[in-house]
Structure 1
Amino acid sequence: MTVSIFRALHHDRPAGDPLVLPGPWDAASARVFADAGYPALATPSAGVAASLGYQDGSTPRDEMFTAVARIVRAVSVPVSADVEWGYGLAPRELVGRLLETGVVGCNLEDSEHHTTMKEPKRHADWLAEVRAEAGDDLFINARVDTFLFGTGDPADAVERARLYVAAGADCVYPLLAPPEVLPALREGIEGPINMAAGPVKRSVAELGRLGATRITFGPEMQQYAIEAIGELATGLLVTTD
């Protein structure tokens, strides 16, 4: 599937029918989601990090790109990748590394090293450079970390989102925005909005009803799977006297 088709999945969606993108953390989980019929996938950096034995935000960039490429090769549906803050790469190198993996899109956040918020105009300028290098070959999902590391003020999230859309972002992702502020974000932001949900149907339905265009899950699915494996492992233990 081409980038243009992936981009089209985000537009002209009926109200209450968001695009749901599961988050594979390795090739096996990607195949499960693709076989279930999802039209595309979106890797979570935290889930991939956990699968490689790292804390979130600590994955060496070469290992992240290798893991993403492995996921892309495992499925026939398009994959978008969370590449955090871009790992300090210049826009040309970042775009080149992404395209080498075969992804059709990426998440790029406006905080650095999972701690510090970037100045929004500076980040918008950087996104514009990424867009210029990528042309139409990448779907850019601009993560807005106002509710994670910033002020938590919806007005700040809207201001940042508008700058990023003007810079060429295809979608904005106000991570950890409370569902109750989504209508205000929807009113103030033009274009698709990505919201994060837990792996339960009702949270997806509610976010869609409130105006989310796209739903992703961060590391929630990987954590859900690990908890299930933990329960299985515990249940198989045999206690002997």
Structure 2
Amino acid sequence: MPRTVAEKRSAFRALHDSGCFVLPNPWDIGSARYLETLGFKAIATTSSGFAWSKGHADNTVERDAVLAHLKELVDATDLPVNADFESGFGKTPQEIAASVKLALATGVAGLSIEDSTGDESAPLFAIDVAAERMKAARRAIDENGGDTLLIGRAENFFAGKPDLDDAIARLKAYAEAGADCLYAPGIKTREQIAAVVAAVAPKPVNLLIGSASDFTLADVAALGVRRVSVGGALARAAWGGVMRAAEGLVEGRFDGFADAAPGDKLNGIFKPRA
């Protein structure tokens, strides 16, 4: 029997109480449903993977399209869905609150807000401004049931400002502003990860592992990480296969299909549900 939105949100919140889990990032209904068959407990959207599927660069998709995508994934699976909500589709706290309210209506179980501005000359909001934006997101959630997790993202390492001390200061400010989970995508070393976990404890930390890594899930769990997401890595892996096969076709070769998934297996995965 399909789970309700409330049940999904409750299950998602419980995942953050202890242990460490993988939060893979599908980019469409098919990839979401496939991940569900593998036994994952939750999924997260990827702004980049979705954008590429629509022929756009990351962070260039309009809010209405993102909202429709969130609703589509929520309706397609019984898994809780964490929304990559970019920078909240607004600059002011009022605009953030309005966008978050719309995202909540899609049924997502979690929602992340970045502190990136999109302005190369000043890529990050000042900490106090970013914290006010986080407070606005927190209020919007609390005014609409309060059961959706809020994830605060410090984008230093993605915005060309790889200052760990500043990232930690930002994460601590976002925790105080009401973020339930903290995230600094781009940190990679054991020392960086341990420092972030210690700084925001006891609140849970999300770690991005978006490329081949020597870390295992047990390794990052031992560092205190609560959840691991992969961002656009699965989408990039899929695109890598398509690009290699298509470039082979241009050269008159067909060996790029060697690792293609069997059609009958895909049909079995996506056959109509009982």
- TM-score normalised per structure 1: 0.89
| Structure 1 SS opposite 2:60 | coil
The size of the alignment, in residue pairs, is 236
Residue 120 of structure 1 deviates from its aligned partner by 0.9
Higher mean C-alpha deviation, range 22-31 or range 152-161: 152-161
Counterpart of 2:105 in structure 1: which amino acid?
Answer: E
Letter aligned with residue 120 of structure 1: I
Q: Judge conservation of contact 2:87–2:117 (CA < 8 Å) in 1.
A: yes
**Sequence identity percentage:** 31
Separation (CA, whole Å) in 2 of partners of 1:179 and 1:103: 31
Higher relative contact order (CA 8 A, sep 6+): 1
Decide whether the 8 Å contact of 1:43 with 1:82 is kept in 2.
yes
2:143 counterpart of 1:126:
no
Q: 1:40-60 deviations in whole A, cap 9, x for unaligned?
A: 100011111111111011111
Change (3 A) 1:160 1:200: same
Q: How far off its partner does 1:94 sit?
A: 1.4
Which of 4, 8, 13 is matched with 1:7 structurally? 13
Please, which of 212, 216, 223 is the counterpart of residue 210 of structure 1? 223
Deviation at 1:64, TM superposition (A): 1.2
For the pair shown, the structure with the greater C-alpha radius of gyration is 2
Q: Which segment drifts farther, 156-165 or 90-99?
A: 90-99
Partner of 2:240: 227
Work out the CA distance in 2 between the residues paired with 1:61 and 1:212: 30
Root-mean-square deviation (CA, aligned residues, Å) is 2.1
Q: Determine helix, strand or coil for the equivalent of 2:183.
A: strand
Structure 2 distance, partners of 1:198, 1:83, is: 18
Q: Offset at 1:141?
A: 1.0
Q: Say if 1:226 and 1:215 are closer, same or farther in 2 by CA, change over 3 A.
A: same
Q: Which residue of 1 aligns with 2:31?
A: 29
Question: How far apart, in 1, do the equivalents of 2:160 and 2:180 lie?
Answer: 22
Judge which range, 100-109 or 204-213, deviates more: 204-213
- Asked whether the 8 Å contact 2:18–2:226 carries over to 1, the reply is no
Structure 1 residues 142-221: aligned runs within 5 Å:
142-149=152-159, 151-180=161-190, 181-190=192-201, 191-198=203-210, 202-205=214-217, 206-221=219-234
* Residue aligned with 2:128, SS: helix
- 1:225 offset after TM fit, Å? 1.0
SS at match of 1:117: coil
Amino acid at match of 1:126: R
Question: What runs of 5+ residues in structure 2 fail to find an aligned partner?
Answer: 1-6, 254-274
1:154-212 CA-partner distances (Å, limit 9, x unpaired): 22111111110111101111010122311122222221111111365843423333332
